[in-house]
Structures are given as C-alpha cells and as structure tokens.
Structure 1
Amino acid sequence: MTLRIHALFHTNYADLSYIRQWADRHHHQMTISRSYNNDKVPTPDSFDWLIVMGGPMSVHDENKHPWLIAEKQLIKQAIDAGKTVIGMCLGAQLIAHCLGAKIKPTGIKEIGWFELELTSDGKPHPLLQDLPKSPFNVFHFHGDGFDCPEGAQIIAQTKAWANQGFIYQTSLHKSLNTWVIGWQCHFEVTKESLPKMLSNGSKTLQSGLQHHPKTVQTADEILVLGEQYIEQNNQRLEAMLNRLASSQS
C-alpha cells in the first residue's frame, strides 16, 4: 500500500531525517508544509498519515506564532478523521494539547542521549514489539512535557520525566487499524541531521549545560554518542513505522 504522508515543519533546519529515508525506500508519497513561511496546511482528505515534527517554540505561543492555530485545527481534524498521526517532540506536545492534555515546562532540560524505558503499557503494545524491554538510549532535546491525554496510554518514561510517549486510538481509529502516537524523543535523527539540530539549538544547549548539567550533554559528547546509538534507533523507528503501515494494508 502506497501511503500519502504529510509532514508539518516548524523550523528552517527541520529535517525528516530517517523518516524520509524510510518513506523513499517504501515508495510512499511525501509532502511537507511550513506554516511559519505562510504555507497553507492541507485538508485531511489529502493524506493518509500526518507527521508533526519538532521545533523550539511552545504549543502556547500562538500570539508569537499565529500559524500554530491552523496547525492545531488540522491535527484535531486529522485525529477526528481517524488518520494515523505521529508526533516528534514539539509534535507530540501539539498532539497531546489537541487531545486536551496540559503542556508545561518540566522544570528541567533533557538534551542528549539518555535512557528511555517502556512502561507496563508500552512493553506489550503491538506497535512496540521491536523495542527493547530494558532501558535503551535515545536522543532528547526538550524542556516542555505533556500530561497523559484522556484515553491515551503512556508508553515510555525517563528518570527525569515520566511522560515520554503516548499512544491513542478513537473507536474510528480502531476500526481503521490506525493510531495516534507521540514521542518526546527523536528516533529520527541521523548522522547528517544531528549536527544541524545541535548547531541551531546551540543557545538552548549552552543554557541547559549551565542550569541542568545532570540532564544536558555537550555537543561533542552528543555527537560521539550518536555514532554509537543512531543506527539502532533508526532501526527501531523503521520497525515502528513498518508496523503502523502494515496495520493499514
């Protein structure tokens, strides 16, 4: 089954990274929009999947970024239409926000490669069977967090913040074998995209090192650890995307 996948970008340096590689390899159709550049968001009938990428802004920054209003409307419409919706970092927070959950600063910054552990709901979930049952390292770059949306399952946690991922389905999603899934972390980063993320987020990184040294790593440390962890995390993302795609075929 060829999927029509649309992605929402929030920065000029945004990159689908491994998601693009996976989509190209499986011959899925990929389109993007940049609302901050006045791109018009699509209608839900024009795509099968909606992927909401990360960014440095808050979900509450509508006065500063009024284009967030249209994006939130689209995310809500996509969920109501039973579409598969996937969020990374800010994207997960936007989805949780649209589901009525509170989004707030966690009181810390998590920037770097830190252990993630699946919860008791995450370990047996059919979409996550290719992920380790014991803690594993993933890349984080966030300071805000979400409460669990009503009706959702929290699927992952870290020592610093309990809510690191969620999965949600309406009755329509269940009938269509589709899912809504959000991750605080970045399974999608590659050796090419990680340096760009660190360069553009250097001010946030330096501030994090000053104020949250236990949960923020230096850029050099992040890049070295990336050599160790990126490939296996890309493989985990591929496995999840394959399971999502096969559920609809």
Structure 2
Amino acid sequence: MLKTAVALRHVAFEDLGSFEAVLAAAGYKVHYYDIGVHEIWTLEPVKTELVIVLGGPVGVYETETYPFLADELDFLRTRLAADRPTFGICLGAQLIAAALGAKVRPTGTKEIGFAPLDLTTGGEAFVLRHLKDVPVLHWHGDMFDIPDGADRLAETAVCANQAFAHGRNVMGVQFHPEVDAAAGFERWLIGHAHELAAVGVDPRALRADAERHGLRLRDAGRAMFAEWLGDLRVP
C-alpha cells in the first residue's frame, strides 16, 4: 500500500528534484501543494504521513507581506507538536525552525553557489555524512537559529547553522541537497535571474559548477535522504 508524501512548493522550479526517485523507491506517492494555488487549510496536518517543505524566495518574517507564511507556520506547529515526519529545505527549514520557536533572520550576505559543508560531530554521525566533502548548492540570505532540543549538524564560513535534526522525524537543511543539477537547473538560473544580477553572481559560472558537481550531489543527496526516510519513527 502506497504511503503519501506531500511537498509544499513555493515556486514551480524548486521541486523535489532528485528526491522524487527516493520517495518512489520507498513506497511513497507524491502530491504537490502549490502555495498560492492550493489552500493549506485543506491539508490534514497530522494524518499526512510525510511532509517536505521546499524552498522559496521570501523570508519567514515577511508574514504581513505574504500572509500564507502564517498559515504554513500554523500548519507546521500542529504537525511538529505531534512529531510527524517533516523535512525542510531552505525556506522550508526556516519555517520548521520558526514553528519550533527559533528565530530566523537575514545574515547580510547572500550565499549562492556550490561549496561543501563543514559537518559537526553530530552531523558526521548522522545521515549528513553522505554529503561530507560534496559541494552542495547554497542559495539563501537568511539563517535559522537552532531550535531548542535540536542538534546542529553543519555549518559554512558564511552561515553557522546549515542543518538541524529535531529527533528522528524532523530535519531541516539550509542548502539544497535535492537539486538535480544535471537536469532542470537552467530553470533556477532563469527564475532567479534578477537576484543573481543584483548580487553579481554570473549564471555561466553556476551552470559550469552544476555540470561539474551535479551527478555527485545527486547521488549523495539521494543516499542521505533515503537513510533519513528509513530511520523515521512512526506508529
């Protein structure tokens, strides 16, 4: 019997990427909830077996400008209080952190490009070890604090908090382990063209790095996510 995985998607090109194959292999049927199209109140926050909250170009603290963020936070607070399996990427990780009571704030620096993580001792002992020395895709200007009761798993020189785990069932990563840089990455360069121009990042350099690191990141990201799914503690 298929299990259900719901992905909360904020922009069309920031999808599950290489994670879709992992979910299919683990017996999940994937449903996308597109924010701004589908109403999150129609999604049951506790009974849904797995929720993945994807990235997006807004800040958690912009609830007055983007009211859907408040709705997502309410949804996540209910879900996390029940310790239901939830994985967050970039904005998704920030939303999970905020729903757990942590602050999210701008760092003052855009971290965009492929670079490896520095894993903490806890990160090396956890599923992130699959990403050790692998250049992952960074694309953010905000950072979450580590929620109370969570373990800090990774950092970079630009961003001290790159990943956390809150027990076995909740994990958030600031970077993008899901991106399939070998397929579909051009959509990122088009969709974020204005941001890249504003911060002086050359899309040609990003494209070249995606070609150089894409397959390795895809394989390592899939291994990391597959192990996390396999370790979930659900009734």
- Give the TM-score of the pair, scaled to structure 2: 0.91
Work out whether 1:141 is the aligned partner of 2:139: yes
1:153 to partner: Cα distance? 1.1
Q: Show the counterpart of 2:18.
A: 18
1:42-191 paired onto structure 2 within 5 Å: 42-125=43-126, 127-132=127-132, 135-169=133-167, 178-190=168-180, 191=182
Contact 1:15 1:193 in 2 (8 A): no
Alpha-carbon deviation of 1:38? 4.2
The letter of the residue matching 2:29 is Q
The amino acid that maps onto 1:147 is: D
Give the Cα–Cα distance (whole angstroms) in 1 for the partners of residues 185 and 202 of structure 2. Answer: 13
- TM-superposed CA distance for 1:131, in Å, is 3.2
Does the CA contact (< 8 Å) of 2:7 and 2:53 recur in 1?
A: yes
Q: Which amino acid in 1 is paired with 2:22? A: W
Kindly indicate whether the alpha-carbon contact (under 8 Å) linking 2:105 and 2:144 is maintained by their aligned counterparts in 1: yes
In structure 2, C-alpha distance between the alignment counterparts of 1:131 and 1:111, rounded to whole Å: 18
The Cα of 1:94 is off from its aligned counterpart by 0.6
Distance 2:128 2:116 in 1: 16
TM-score of the superposition, structure 1-length normalised? 0.86
CA shift digits 1:127-180 (9 cap, x unpaired): 234332xx43111110011111111111111111111111112xxxxxxxx421
Question: RMSD of aligned C-alpha atoms?
Answer: 1.8
Consecutive unaligned residues of structure 1, counting only runs of 5 or more, are: 170-177, 210-216
Return the offset for 1:72.
0.8
Query: Any conservation in 2 of the 1:50–1:78 contact (CA below 8 Å)?
Result: no
Quote the sequence identity (%): 30
- Offset of residue 58 of structure 1: 0.7
Quick check: 7-16 or 46-55, which moved more? 7-16
Q: Which of 210, 215, 222 is the equivalent residue of 2:206? A: 222
After superposition, the Cα gap between the structure-2 partners of 1:38 and 1:238, relative to the gap in structure 1 and judged at 3 Å, is closer
